[in-house]
Amino acid sequence: MLAARSRALAHAALDEPLSDEEALDFAEAGSDALPAILEAAGAARDRAFGRRVTFSPKVFLPLTNLCRNHCDYCSYRRSPGDAGEWTMRPEEVARFVAAGRREGCVEALFCLGDKPETAFPAYRRTLAAFGQASTTSYLHHGAEVALAQGLLPHTNAGLLTDGEMARLKEVNVSLGLMLENVSPRLGEKGMPHHRAPDKRPEKRLAMIEGAGRLRIPFTTGILVGIGETRRERVESLLAIRRLSRAHGHIQEVIVQNFRAVAGVPMQHTPEPDAFELSHAVAMARLILDGEVGVQAPPNLSPGGTASLLAAGINDFGGISPVTPDYINPRHPWPHLTVLATECAEAGFTLRPRLPIYDRYIDRDGFLDPGLREVTRAAAARLAGVEDLSRLAAPPQPAARPAVEREERVQ
Ligand code: SF4
């Protein structure tokens, strides 16, 4: 068994990813196997991406925090009338976009709750007051505002139909949806997705597959520490690999660790320890094909830069010099100069990137031709960024409230 595992790791480090059987076997491996798993994952990353680790300078636009689901770990969602309910007004969208452009961002990330108009008449009235027939229309408008400022939209709006994705592809360089996990067990009573109908794995897999058919550069990912087993994580990564191999549209996979937040049902659930996160990141690197990036958010692992790099990441995802992480507002982004120093100490160079991976810009059928010029212009801006300190002062949530309560739409 040990010799077989060593051979599998050596092969994955130097040649091809683990087979399904090998990956499932490593799901059962104990902590004594971790050093060898990490070493192989680091080598596989170096082979595919070298010693360059990237991030996307972004402005975060939480278009609405209304959501029809109730995930037990979520502190973002609101219902109409809840304290902190917020749907961005069109003028707020324009203001955020302008601030992002001023601060050197290239990505406009639109992130929102799932299917709010199916659950909340008050939200439908808000959209109508904005002159928008649907959330998709409003997202389309917001993306046009961003494009006019030279920012590249990336939208994560929860579950979307093929028709909605096709419409958003006209104005987004990429779309995203976290798979989270393929286990239906997590939707059972007492589990975190029991009250979240849109977290049923078959629905999410179907949307990711639909994005593949539509040739949309796509970001997905898994959550670590929400009650899943290691085997279920590996099965989720294998499911993503199958979709990626079928359609070639998965540009990156996020490995996101659960962080406990006061006031949510899972507030007392233990967070995943360093072993679990390192194991999950390394397995992602050893399972996914070389062209697919592996990303972990640095603000959810403060002090963990070296560990994440050792486990095989090549990307930190979006980092904003303008806005907090509205999904995890208690976890501020790192200062880029500090992050760059930590990367350098580990032997890596930190560089900004676009929200669409370079290989998709000219690949037939992926990027809408109408977005090529703005994408190339954004790439040229990034190529000129020599000094990351220009983007080095991320806002602290307490210092920059999203917007005053009385400004918000009721
Ligand atoms: S995690 Fe997403 S889908 Fe779940 S409740 Fe929060 S906003 Fe809604």
Taken in order of first residue, the domains within the chain and their CATH numbers are: 18-397 (3.20.20.70)
Q: What pLDDT is stored for residue 308 in this prediction?
A: 98
3-16 b/e (C-beta count within 10 Å ≥ 16 → b): eebeebbebbbeee
The pLDDT, as a whole number, for residue 60 is 95
Pocket test for ligand 1, best of 63, 64, 71 (most atoms within 8 A of CB): 71
Write the burial class of residue 189 (CB in 10 Å: 0-12 exposed, 13-18 middle, 19+ buried): exposed
Which residue owns the Cα nearest ligand 1 atom 7?
Answer: 113
How much is the pLDDT for 403? 35
Q: Which of 60, 67, 123 to mutate to test the pocket of ligand 1 (most atoms within 8 A of CB)?
A: 67
Ligand 1 neighbour 218 (Cβ under 6 A): no
Q: State residue 385's pLDDT score.
A: 77
Ligand 1 center to residue 37 CA distance, Å? 32
In this prediction, the residues of the chain whose per-residue pLDDT falls under 50 are: 392, 396-410
Outline where 17-173 has alpha helix (H).
20-27, 34-49, 90-102, 116-119, 121-129, 135-148, 162-169
Atom of ligand 1 nearest to the CA of 112: 7
Letter for the amino acid at 13? A
Tokens at 78, concatenated: 């609101």
- 293 touches 312 (CB < 8 A): no
Ligand 1 within 6 A of 196 CB? Answer: yes
Distance between Cα 264 and ligand 1 center (Å) = 12
User: What distance in angstroms lies between residue 13's CA and the mean position of ligand 1's atoms?
Assistant: 36
Ligand 1 close to Cβ of residue 69 (< 6 A): yes
Q: Cα dihedral sign for 367, 369, 371, 376?
A: positive
As a whole number of angstroms, the distance between CA 244 and CA 239 comes to 9
Cα(279)–Cα(30) distance, integer angstroms: 10
Which amino acid is it at 305? Answer: T
Cα–Cα dist 319/100, whole Å: 11
Q: How far is the CA of 230 from the centre of ligand 1 (A)?
A: 23
Q: How many helices (H) and strands (E) does the chain have?
A: 14, 9
- Predicted confidence at residue 328, as pLDDT, reads 83
